[in-house]
Amino acid sequence: MIRGGRSYVLSPPAFSNDAKRLLVCTANTVTIFSTATGLPVLSLDGHTALVTAVIVVPASTPASKILCYCWTASLDGTIRYWDFSVPELIKIINVNLPIISMVIPSLLSQTAETNDKSPKTFAYLSVENTKEPEKESGKVLRGQIKKCNLTNSRMAGGMTLSETKQPEIITVSSSGKYFGIQFKRKLRIWKVPIAESERAVVKKITLHHTKNMNVLAFHPTQRIVAAGDVTGRILIWRGFGDRTFADGDGLVSRKLTNNEEERPGVRGNDDADSCTTWHWHSAEVNVLFFSSDGAYLYSGGKEGVLVVWQLDTGRKKFLPRIGSPLLWFTDSPDPSLSSISCADNQIHLLKMPSMEILKSISGIKLPCSFPEMCNGLQSGIAFDCNAGLVALRTENYCIQLYSLFDDRGISEVVVCERNHQPGDEVTVVVTLAVLSLDGSMMSTAEVKLPEEGLGGLVCLKFWALGSQNKEFSLSTIVYEPHRDAGISAIAFHPTRPMAVSSSYGGDFKVWVCNNGIQEMDKPLPNSGWTCHAVGSYKKKPMTAATFSSDGSVLAVAAETVITLWDADKNILVAVIGETLMDKTVGLCRIRSFVLMVLFPFGIFDALGSSYDFVIDLLKPVVNLAFAGTSEYLVSASWGSKPQLSIWSMSKLSVSWSYMLHVEAIASAADMSFFAALALLPESSKCNETSIKGRDGVILLFNASDPVPIFTWSVKKAKGGALAFIQANQFAIDENELDGKPHQSLLAYINGDHEYLLFDPQGKEAKEQSTIRQEGLGDLEEAGKFGYASIYGELPQFDPKRKQASWVLSAPLERPWETVFSGSSHNLPPLTKLCSVFLESLLEKRTVNVD
């Protein structure tokens, strides 16, 4: 199996002592990147939940810089000690509570004046109390600050420094003498005891503000602390703890005073000399850090701008816009190198003090914050199945191309030339991105949102992959391709430069490149796309489109029916699903008669549920896919009664179906298999013993058989995607996938863009072994598949069992109660229904013959 797509920015990273490596928390592992190349070199595997902290043991002498030891903490309730040069796990400490944050002040202390020859090491933990939370003023306090003896591998007995409603992030000073948390409108700051022990008293002060605070930072040499709040303000307290901490801690302070007039800005009885407020940021401040000499304060937030403040004068200057909200800043032992983590899942290595970006470590882009603009199932995720790439929409109007085998970003395509400002109001949304089968062409759709009801615009763009630089360049742009209607789907022809776009306005258009003369594997210099044909069906909204594997048939969903076309001649070949719709319309007419005539007599109750079931099936088709080289077409519809249907092209009728809400469909190009990603019903989610809290299931079908071959339950299925990827032998060898040739791998990307690649017919899948995967899901337990995996086991049926002899059978006196039972596509014609129904209302009389 190949796993990837993890977030790089949920926790702050850490540099090695020689600054040549960067340790990054990635889900339940720690990935080690080279700062020279930006590529991963090693990983620390062992935690079973999200890793929340990584701390490198600093070198005490220049010669010890070659030592590579670190501590990690995780939500699995363990602290682990590693030699990350091998890598090798040395020690495990069980805390038995999820650890949200961890600091080890003694590692930062320049001197440790104790009587012990080998002083003990203590960590301060922010944990979540999941056992017996206490209540204070009616509120549950789940956040706790605790102390842990790392040397003796145990918690400091019964010591809880603080309790908060939720666990908070701990910040430690560079000197290791202070640490603190921001809790709503308060700062809680502790002074680390000079002689650390399990029973040592840890002094604390509290500073107050009028707004909630997000981040704090300690000055490296003076008793100064800075905090940023949710409104963009920065507060600087000077001389904090003069009354409480004044015991010769070695930090510079001001003279003590109790006169409130001589403590400007300080609220109440807070222990500080003064409090200064600076304000430039228009939104919340997320990043604060002092320069190594303490002369400057750097701040950053949602705007993606680093502001450099001169601490003595308050003057400021600005560094170039990074383009994404800032989250973490990390110093390195090399004063000329630092890193900054951004909300777009990127870590930039910076040259100090100019803040020039030297290298970027790019993770997979996180889901966009405007899912309401996604159309159906083509929600901005497209696959290049041959190269193993995925194309993802980003919030800065780009398409990221990401390698699933290498787990790194390849390039970005700027779809819309706009100066993206993080936090600005969204005016343009890239709604669709689709790649051709060979990955040489791409099409995107974007919508310019109207301002005050005016100025909306829909654009369709075609892109061509360069033969030299392997980057996409814009080939053609079409404004308002379907008048003012939105684009619902885009699909490429499998063998020729042809594409189709469907719209909610009631039509679809077939586009060709250079009249479609040249083949796809040949370059098309100065190519341009033109409209080849326009089609519609009864002015119904066109909601989905796809080509058959050989390109001979174009299937377009016209709301609730599927139309089949000859794309070259623009001829309607057939319509499937229309018979079901016509019968249901007839049933609706009968239902109106039932409502008017029979409802007053109480007879309607026996019919209502059947009618409602049939009517609810008429939901728009939102996804279409031909099942590889087979004769079957797969469709998915959403609504209160969602449906997965498989249609036979030879019979032009439905072959089989399931009532499932399907998020994605993927078919193998050279086989008759297809996979469907379905959301589990709410009733199934509650059954923790069978699905363990997972919300989706991947079903692998042979199109001709309604019984799934394999079933895998997954997490975060909402917004997920599926694809069959051509196997990359080098990547398979590196990841040890079964050790045998593979034709294709099944790729699953969940709603958070974490992904998993595996052989759907490999050894692990066939054995149905349970595989732990944070954020993705486990392969389902052996023997559970299909109906049983969703609704539970059915009772055993014995065909040899005889019916009880005393059960009498007789003709049903009211046959109209069952005439509507069964599958809707097998109902008798309307004339038959009416006659049977009306005859059942006639009163039968008995004639006596003398």
More confident residue, 61 or 804: 61
The CA-based dihedral angle spanning residues 734, 735, 740, 742, taken in that order and rounded to the nearest 10 degrees: -100
For the ranges 387-401, 443-457, 764-778, the lowest mean pLDDT is seen at 764-778
Q: Which of 141-145, 177-181, 580-584, 606-610 has the lowest mean pLDDT?
A: 606-610
pLDDT of residue 302: 86
pLDDT at residue 723, as a whole number: 93
Quote the pLDDT of residue 292: 87
Highest mean pLDDT, choosing among 76-80, 280-284, 524-528: 76-80
Q: What average pLDDT does the structure give for the chain?
A: 79
Does 600 have pLDDT greater than 80? no
Query: Among 97-111, 571-585, 813-827, which stretch is predicted with the lowest mean pLDDT?
Result: 813-827
**Predicted local distance difference test score (pLDDT) of residue 230:** 93
Q: 416-436, pLDDT tens digit by residue?
A: 876 656 656 677 888 999 999
Span 92-98, average pLDDT: 94
645 pLDDT above the threshold of 80? yes
Q: What pLDDT is attached to residue 63?
A: 72
> Residue 64's pLDDT band (boundaries 50, 70, 90)?
confident
* pLDDT tens-place string over residues 35-53: 999 999 999 999 999 999 9
pLDDT, tens only, 533-548: 999 999 999 999 999 9
Share of the chain above pLDDT 90, in %: 44
Average pLDDT (836-848) is 66
- Structure confidence at residue 379 (pLDDT): 58
Give dist(CA 226, CA 747) in Å, integer. 46
pLDDT at 764 over 70: no
Tens of pLDDT, residue by residue over 740-750, are: 555 689 999 99
Identity (one letter) of the amino acid at 78?
T
The Cα 148–Cα 79 span in angstroms is 10
Q: What is the pTM of this model?
A: 0.79
Please state, in angstroms and rounded to a whole number, the distance separating the CA atoms of residues 50 and 88: 19
Please give the average per-residue pLDDT across 629-655, as a whole number.
Answer: 90
What was the pLDDT predicted at 629? Answer: 87
The 10s digit of each residue's pLDDT in 690-705 is 456 678 899 999 999 9
- pLDDT of 494 higher than 70: yes
Q: For the stretch 370-404, what's the b/e string if a residue is b when 16 or more beta carbons lie within 10 angstroms of its beta carbon? A: eeebbbbbbbbbbbbbebbbbbbbbbbbbbbbbbb
Region of poorest pLDDT, from 390-399, 495-504, 562-571 = 390-399
Tokens 């009733």, residue located = 683
For the chain, percent of residues with pLDDT exceeding 70? 74
Q: Which of 90-104, 222-236, 260-274, 309-323 has the least mean pLDDT?
A: 260-274
Question: Is it the case that residue 569 has pLDDT exceeding 70?
Answer: yes
Could you give phi then psi for residue 190, rounded to 5 degrees? Answer: -115, 145
Give residue 113's pLDDT band: very low, low, confident or very high (50, 70, 90): very low
Give pLDDT, residue 767: 58
**Helices (DSSP H) in 664-776: which residue ranges?**
682-685, 688-691, 729-735, 763-767
Is 401 or 373 the better-scoring residue by pLDDT?
401
Tokens of 221: 């040499």
What is the average pLDDT across 366-386? 66
If residue 834 lies in a helix (H) or strand (E), which one and from where to where? helix 830-841
More confident call, 808 vs 779: 808
Query: How long is the chain?
Result: 850
Tell me what pLDDT residue 809 has.
42
Q: Output b/e per residue, 89-123; b: 16+ Cβ within 10 A.
A: eeeebebebbbbbbbbbbbbbeeeeeeeeebebbb
Count the neighbouring beta carbons within 10 Å of the beta carbon of residue 623.
24
Asked if pLDDT for residue 487 goes beyond 60, the answer is yes
Contact 356, 330 (CB under 8 A): no
CA 196 to chain centre: 43
Taking only the tens place, the pLDDT of each residue in 814-833 is 555 555 555 555 566 666 66
Residue whose C-alpha is closest to residue 289's, from 330, 317, 320, 347: 330
Q: Do residues 733 and 797 touch, judged by C-beta distance below 8 A?
A: no
Top-ranked range on mean pLDDT: pick from 201-205, 551-555, 775-779: 551-555
| Residue 26 pLDDT class (50, 70, 90 cuts) | very high
